[in-house]
Amino acid sequence: MRFYYRAYVACIAIYLAGSSLLLCAQPAPDYVWYRNAVVYALDVDTFKDSNADGIGDFQGLIQQLDYLHGLGITVLWLSPFQPTPDRDDGYDITDYYGVDPRLGTPGDFAEFMFQARQRGMRVIMDLVINHTSDEHPWFRSARQGKHSPYRQWYVWRDNRPADAGKGMVFPGVQKETWTFDSVSTTYYFHRFYDFQPDLNYSNPQVEAESKRIIGYWLNQGFSGFRLDAVPFIIEEDGKNVDRPEHRFDQLVAIRRHIQLHGQEAILLGEANVAPEESNDYFGKDGVGMQMMFNFFVNQHFFYTLATGELQPLVRALEQTRDIPEGAQWANFLRNHDEIDLGRLTTRQREKIYAAMGPDKNMQLYDRGIRRRLAPMLGNNPQRLAMAYSLLFALPGTPVLRYGDEIGMGDDLRLKERLSVRTPMQWTDAPYAGFSTTAPFRPVIDAGEYDYRKINVASQRTDPASLLTLTTKLIRLRKEHPAIGLGKWIISDHKAGDLLITQFTDERETILTVHNFAPNRASAELACPGQVLTDLFSGEDIPVKNGKVQLTVKEYGYHWFQVR
Interatomic CA distance for residues 443 and 454, integer angstroms: 11
Phi, psi (degrees; rounded to nearest 5) at 29: -60, 140
Interatomic CA distance for residues 342 and 285, integer angstroms: 29
**Per annotation, catalytic residue among 43, 176, 228, 405:** 228
Interatomic CA distance for residues 299 and 349, integer angstroms: 9
Angle, alpha carbons 204-208-209 (nearest 5°): 120
Chain CA centroid to CA 518, Å = 29
Burial of 31 from C-beta contacts in 10 A (0-12 / 13-18 / 19+)? middle
CA distances for 353 relative to 41, 360, 362, 493, 515, angstroms: 25, 9, 9, 30, 22
Interatomic CA distance for residues 498 and 476, integer angstroms: 21
Nearest Cα to Cα of residue 327 among 288, 297, 294: 288
Amino acid at 221: G
In the Cβ-directed half-sphere of 440, how many Cα atoms lie within 13 Å? Answer: 18
**Per annotation, catalytic residue among 270, 340, 404, 405:** 270
Q: Is residue 270 among the annotated active site residues?
A: yes
Q: What's the maximum distance between 2 C-alpha atoms anywhere in the chain? A: 82
For 258-269, letters b (16+ CB in 10 Å) and e give: beeebebbbbbb
Interatomic CA distance for residues 376 and 379, integer angstroms: 7
Nearest Cα to Cα of residue 559 among 495, 514, 524, 527: 514
Interatomic CA distance for residues 149 and 497, integer angstroms: 61
Q: Is residue 508 among the annotated active site residues?
A: no
Interatomic CA distance for residues 289 and 269, integer angstroms: 7
Q: Which positions are catalytic?
A: 228, 270
